[in-house]
Structure 1
């Protein structure tokens, strides 16, 4: 490679100090070494990089372009060196978070902002998962931390968990124009079976897929996420449960109506779970924050 980090450092020093002599003193080298290195680079590139006026050296347009872009590389290399050192001190290169669909991703943003503001070097990746898919993400190595994992922990080793919310608050909500909207009193199970349910597809790859609130034999419309489920129910395409935080504004606006069921849905607790074989500092940071009452309340209100 013709252009090296060493040469970029030399060009940077010459530009900042105004001459080869001053740059050499700053770099603790002799001026002839810098002159030789720059001359060799100019020869290999087939261009001149400096306008030389006596002892003063000024970058020409080609040299300035090279230095300006080169400084981006120098900063990136410096940042990488610091990040690698912090990773060697116990920070993960990347922390993968599986976030269950029941929790809106924007509720995680204040926590991420705090993490970044502290200057931690770990890259964060957030993946959306549904039902058993949240546990499955840990099992298959797609995630290091799961937030909102529903129900009991599956029986496999290497995973720890603790409750985030012991009881979720879902409402059965349908469009005002849906046939069941006019039903008086609690709706029986046999009547629900006659109507299509809107469900979010479980994202599990290896664990058995889970369903919640679905009756065996019921027609279904499967949608990709919780907001699509709400939209489908508003459009009258089916029935189903929605978390209170999502359903309440639509009910208030008259786009959905809440109904009671003769056999209420069995509510599941939701959990935080993580791979415990290698707990790096970033994972530890999130686990500590997710143990704070204020953080839990911010994540789970209306669930």
Structure 2
């Protein structure tokens, strides 16, 4: 086999340095050793890779033809070495996060871009789940981290990181009665206006939203809820980052209540199980979230 990791390194060093002496300095070797390695590679390939008629080592057309694939293979070898080191340091094969649908439009996915850059071989899976489903998956061990809204009480099996907040806004289609046409809705009107919420089965106390209506439709995602609201079939609390452009364009209207605010801020926790050590990817995700939250609002 002509090309090895070592001969590949020498070949690229000569290409980059333009001479055997420059390659030798880069590799920490003497020029004669580099020249000998190249000569051996040329003999095994039965190709002339460098023109030695001048003091420089000028690449031949054969060398230039081999260069793109050589650099690709060298990159893959570097990636393999880095992956092996990260596995030794505790990198998990896959990092799985359960995330409430309301949070997928917020800041909680931003650290994933850094993880992709720092750990390019790490598989990342983001599961959309209701509040109760996310917690269930966490305790069953099918996810390492769960991003959920703050819950009453503390489970001693869990550790958590406060992770900012999400603003939900009550909205309706401009023509829907609950939009109020600029007039705040009273309690009786709220109770009779259809509310569309994201929940798994019947709404429970663990769901992050307040149920104000006697007439409720359920969906399993905020995009489905948004479609129903835009179709004029009900009103809903929707994440502010999702609906702000639609309010600005007049496609949605903010619902006004006469006895409460139309906006609801919910605090978010990232939760994991104390008895299960986190891998390198999950640990780094938490570090990135802490850095991101230094300038953000904190709950009182």
TM-score range, shorter chain: 0.5 to 0.7
Aligned partner of 1:41 in structure 2 is 45
After superposition, where does 1:102-113 map in structure 2 within 5 Å? Answer: 102-105=102-105, 107-108=107-108, 111=111
Mapped to 2, the partners of 1:37 and 1:177 lie a distance apart of: 77
CA contact (8 A) 2:97 2:147 kept: yes
Would the alpha carbon gap of residues 188 and 80 (structure 1) be closer, same or farther in structure 2, given more than 3 Å must change?
A: same
Question: Helix, strand or coil: the match of 1:278?
Answer: coil
User: Counterpart of 2:102 in 1: which secondary structure?
Assistant: coil
Runs of at least 5 residues in structure 2 that lack an aligned partner in the other structure: none
- Structure 2 residue 126 is the aligned partner of structure 1 residue 127: yes
Structure-1 residue corresponding to 2:219: 222
* Equivalent residue, structure 1, for 2:234: 238
Distance 1:105-1:7 versus aligned 2 partners, 3 A rule: farther
State the partner residue of 1:50: 49
Q: Is the 8 A contact 2:169 2:254 kept in 1?
A: no
Runs (5+) with no aligned partner, structure 1: 43-47, 204-208
| Aligned equivalent of 2:253 | 256
- What is the distance in 1 between the residues matched to 2:129 and 2:295? 21
**Pairwise CA distance, 1:217:** 9.1
Deviation at 1:234, TM superposition (A): 2.8
Question: Which runs of 4 or more aligned residues in structure 1 lie more than 6 Å from their structure 2 counterparts after TM superposition?
Answer: 113-117, 153-156, 261-268
Q: State the alpha-carbon separation in 1 of the partners of residues 268 and 293 from structure 2.
A: 15
Aligned length: 282
Q: Deviations over 1:55-110 (max 9, x none)?
A: 87643333212123212321332243244324423455554443322225452466
> Shift of the alpha carbon at 1:139?
3.6
In 1, the alpha carbon distance for the partners of 2:141 and 2:91 equals: 18
Q: 1:93 to 1:174 in 2, by over 3 A?
A: same
Structure 1 residues 149 and 37, CA, compared in 2 at 3 Å: closer, same or farther?
same
TM-score, with structure 1 as normaliser: 0.65
Contact 1:93 1:121 survives alignment (8 Å): no
Alpha-carbon distance between aligned partners in 2 of 1:250 and 1:65, rounded to the nearest angstrom: 54
- Change in 2 beyond 3 A, CA 1:99/1:87: same
TM-score (norm. length: structure 2): 0.65
Match of 1:260, SS?
coil
CA contact (8 A) 2:137 2:143 kept: yes
1-structure distance, mates of 2:108, 2:266 = 21
SS of equivalent to 2:67: helix
Q: CA deviation at 1:170?
A: 3.8
Instruction: Establish whether residue 84 from structure 1 lines up as the match of residue 84 from structure 2.
Output: yes
